[in-house]
Amino acid sequence: MSGPTTRRIPFGPCLGIMVAVAVGARVAYTLTVGQHLKLGLDAIGYMLLGAGLAGGHGYANPAFIFTGADKATANFVPGYPLFLAGLLKVGITTRTGFQLVGALCGGVTVMLTGLFGRRISGRDGVGLIAAGLVAISPALIAVDGSLMSETIAVPLTVGLLLAAAWAATGASLLRWGLVGLIAGVLVLVRSEDLLMALVVVPLAALAAPTAGIGRRVVQGVVAVTVVGAVLAPWVVRNYETFTPRVLLSSNDGKTLAGANCPTTYHGPLIGYWDFSCIGHDALATSDEARYDKVTRAEGTAYIRSHADRLPLVVGVRILRAWGLFDPLQQVRLEVLQTRSIGWQQLAWPTSLLVLIAAIPGVVRLRKDRLAFVLVAGPLVIATIVVATTFGNPRYVVATTPMLCVGVALTAVGVGDRLGERRRVSPEWAPVPPGSSDVGTVDQLQAPSPELEPG
């Protein structure tokens, strides 16, 4: 008689269903909530930059497009405006059209999350649970309908981690070159992801289990070199265009000054960012490179003169970003980023539950260096970013798929322990001395297919 068999859930079809659910949920959000939202300033800026590129103005400050004077800008890195310009070129010209494309991007995120979860755990269940959570995540549904750079930054982040996990299974330098390519594109979408490219990617290469230490170092160098090659045209353009010099973005000084001023070190906006702290309007509209230098100096000076207050402020920034400080106020602030108050009130508790439930699963990975780097690394990097800028949930939202993988690992771990308890139940226990029923002992000692790895 054949032994017991276990039924396997078909991974591909189930993942496809979750992708369809994700796209459907995001389309429904766009048609019922998203298209009625007031666009935030960043979303407007992205759309105008995309329109300028599509119209042949080059990468010019939107404020000057309407006057006929094309003035170069580096306020945003160019990845998302280029994406919007491409959509305009193929005939997608409306706000709703952009948001519906964002729904498709959300489907890509779900697919990549499922593949990533399965690869780093070796278990289909982890990938499917993580993909399902991403599909219905209120926070990610809002992101994909926000007309913000996170719409493509989130799938790029998951794609980068999946590519690194795949590259680590061999010793191919071409694979690590692809990892560097994705990382470079990600930096051109969100400049703060430079830390992902320069920290997480090399650590993943060093943690690869299939190569010697020398080869692993070379893999990391190849990946970082490709990142540099991807960024080089943008950096050279900025260096030659602006005086004072600008490398990735002229937005850093504004971020620094707005996050380090009296209202963000004391009072209701502690740990956040305040527009009123970044004056010099005439300079901002006439010479953004000088404006960046001036505001950077002001922010740096404020940090130095209030260093005793900085540890508290940094702590609040981190709590804000992860939804642990004054969530009702944070929800209201997020309206400025093309969000719905009601929807964000739903997103906050669900995101908090995901964060809490993910912790045991992430801790379970600590003995697998590569998996731990790929899942925990982005969480650490995002926390460093908010600690050095301000407490904006936007800066951590790209880690949501990693947290969903952590939740899946937690759930599978709980399921494994419950399964073990069922198998060691009273009817499977060793029989008392003198009993003639010895078959149960053999059953207890026999290996079960359900206990095999994977």
Query: What residues in the chain have per-residue pLDDT under 70?
Result: 1-7, 64-69, 424-454
Residues 6+ positions from 147 with CB-CB distance below 8 Å: 39, 43, 46, 47, 95, 98, 99, 102, 338
pLDDT of residue 105: 98
pLDDT of res. 206: 95
At residue 336, the pLDDT reads 87
Q: List, as one string, the DSSP characters of 305-328.
A: HTTTTHHHHHHHHHHHHTT-S-HH
What's the gap between Cα 241 and its chain centre?
A: 31
Tokens of 63: 């404020």
At residue 330's C-alpha, the angle toward residues 325 and 333, to 5°, is 155
Torsion of CA 83, 72, 61, 148, to 10 degrees: 30
Instruction: Provide the pLDDT for residue 5.
Output: 45
Question: pLDDT at position 440, please?
Answer: 39
Model pLDDT, residue 443: 40
Predicted pLDDT of residue 434:
46
Supply the pLDDT for residue 431: 47
Cross-strand partners of 72: 60
441-452 pLDDT, tens per residue? 344 334 444 333
Nearest Cα neighbor of 151 from 36, 34, 232 is: 34
Name the nearest CA neighbour of 309 among 266, 277, 268.
266
pLDDT value of residue 4: 44
DSSP assignment letter at 349: H
